[in-house]
Every structure is written in structure tokens, then in C-alpha cells.
Copies of this chain bind each other. A is one copy, B any other.
């Protein structure tokens, strides 16, 4: 057991530190015979790359993926696929003077206690959001695997930034618009408002949170294992690994808890010869198992913890109250960078379950 690995048949192991030599991922259990290239993985990494606009951190990380093992002549071999991104633009000195001042909202305090100060504290070390790049390296492969074997597609997008909400329901054709703007919201007007809100927060030395929605289509009936590896259990386990995520709901979720059974039950009907439900309040999962409807998830992100404003805190060494002003280059809102991370973790989980359920074979 290790917190650095996830999955049963398709296992992602994450390693590396924010300000160490690299961040890396080993994807184990990927079927042999999948065509994959660094270019395909890079594309998905680029969607989460910082340094691309005013609304994200100003760090400049090229974030170039390098495949070190497990791919031979363009195809997966069945062996573990190790991929790395060599770190380049860290400014570790920014953190040296924070070493003992606890940054509110960050893992600093519990991490120092847990590891008795042996942990690499620079830039959050293992706890940095930068580590989500390792999920994307693995996720890009899982996403392709699901696409070519089962036609499953996962698309995630921003549906709320601060108090600005996307109220429209996502139509299929809107999927293509997700990456047309910097906030990854498929409605241009709302996207503009969101962007302004983020820029405003940055100016105030503050930060914003938001909500990502994720929709997976073409999921076959029968993924998910009862009881403790229900799809909801394993998807939430994966998604709560993203720093800043503090809430997850499937289908009608928290709102559904206020409805009556007669309102919330999805009635079955026949469509083109297939059994489907008229509504999808279940978010495509019943009894923990996929029912063939789209899997819909909403993921709540807290506002970024690093803010430029002066905050009161404690120095862990002196145990005295002190002030703290976090310098460094931070995201005023991490939500716009999260959709490829969510896509990745959902894809990894669905691919793992497709292997478990025998829907994808160990060799293609």
C-alpha cells in the first residue's frame, strides 16, 4: 500500500518533487499494443501548463514529457511506462525563508509534523499542485486506451469560478469549445466574466475557487465493483487526490438530497432498442455500477491557498504568532488548469475498471 500509487490493474505511481530534479510517473498494467507517442501526452500536458496567461502563475515550465521505458517502436509493450518531466524554473529560495512560517491553507504544518521536518518543503514538495502533471502523463495514455478500445470520452470543463456560474447544460457540440478560452468554460460570455473575476482577485492579492464538471460518454454498462470499489468510491478517491478539491458529487448530488424519490428516480425507457433512462440524476452510476448513461461529476475546488495579502500565522520553530506574506509566483485560481487533471484521473479510474471488468484485454 502506498499513497503514491493508484489503481488495481492500471496503476499509476507518482514520484518527484516540485523543486527536485523532476516529477515523474510510472504507469503499470497498460495493455501491450497501444500506439502512443510523447506528442500525444504532451498535448494534454500543455492544457495544464502554467505560464500561459495572466490568470495563472508566471512560472515558466516547459513541462516536456520524456518516455523512459515501456514503449518500443511506438507501441506499449506491457511493461511499466515511466515518464518524466525535468524541472527547470524553480526558484527554491522563495521558500527557504518560509521554512518555519506556516502558510495558511497549505500542507506545511501537517507535513512537517508527519515527516518530522525531513520532507522536502520547497514549493510544497510532494504536496505541490505541480505533481498533478504526473497524473496527466498517465491519464493521457488511459484516455487514449479508453478511446480506441471502447470509444469512451471524458471531457471536463469549468462551470463555476467564485460566484460566476455556467447555468446552461452542456450540449455535445460545446465540448469543442472548452479549450477555446483560458478558463476552460465552454460558454464564451461566461468565460469572459470568469476571467475578469480572476484578474480582479489577483489584483487584490486574493484568490478564487470554483467547480469543474466532468462528463464521460459511451461508458458501457457494468463498470464498478460492489461494494467498496464502486465507481463513485474509486472516482472520488482519485479526484480527492487533487490538491484544493474539497467536494465531489455525482449526478444530482447535494441538490438531489432535497428532492423526493418520485422526482429523483430516473425512469427507464427504450431508445433505439437500448435501455436508457429519461433523466440522469444518478450521474450514470447505480449501485456503484455504470448504467450506460453519461457519468457526470462535479468537483469543488477551494480558492488557492497562496495569496499575496499579508496573513497572520504561527512560526513552528518559535511557536509565536507572526505575519506572513507569500511571495513566489502563484495561481490566483487553479481551476482553469484543472480540466486535464480531472480528465486524467477519471480516465485512469475508468480504464482500471474496464480492465477489471474484462472489457479491455491485457493485450490489444
Contact = CB atoms under 8 A, between A and B. Distances in A.
Given A221-B109, A286-B107, A314-B269, A2 B120 contact: no
Nearest to A228: B6
14 contacts: A2-B225, A3-B228, A15-B28, A15-B81, A78-B119, A104-B267, A104-B277, A109-B286, A110-B291, A204-B260, A234-B237, A257-B300, A261-B303, A267-B311
A112 to B, nearest CB: 9
A105 B266 contact: yes
Given A1-B9, A114-B221, A257-B211, A275 B102 contact: yes
Interface size class of A (residues with CB under 8 A): 35 or more
Given A227-B131, A247-B253, A275-B319, A113 B221 contact: yes
Contact of A1 (B8, B17, B252, B358): B8
A190 interface: no
Contact of A78 (B105, B115, B160, B234): B115
Interface string A265-276: 111111001010
Nearest to A352: B1
B309 A262 contact: yes
Given A105-B261, A251-B246, A265-B105, A17 B241 contact: no
Contacts of A69: 15-17, 20-22, 24
A79 B21 CA distance: 14
A126 B226 contact: yes
Contact of A289 (B114, B116, B364): B114
Contacts of A163: 258
Given A4-B226, A227-B126, A290-B110, A258 B221 contact: no
Interface of A: 1-6, 8-9, 11-17, 20-22, 24, 26, 28-29, 32-33, 68-70, 72, 75-82, 84, 102, 104-107, 109-111, 113-116, 118-120, 124-127, 131, 160, 162-163, 201, 204, 206-211, 221-222, 224-230, 232-234, 236-238, 240-241, 243, 245-254, 256-270, 273, 275, 277, 281-283, 286-292, 300-307, 309, 311-314, 316, 319-321, 356-358, 361-364
A304 B127 CA distance: 39
A111 B77 CA distance: 11
Given A3-B228, A16-B68, A72-B125, 19 more contacts: A2-B80, A5-B5, A13-B26, A17-B79, A32-B116, A33-B115, A76-B118, A77-B118, A79-B120, A110-B287, A127-B227, A206-B262, A207-B262, A209-B256, A236-B237, A265-B307, A268-B321, A269-B312, A273-B319
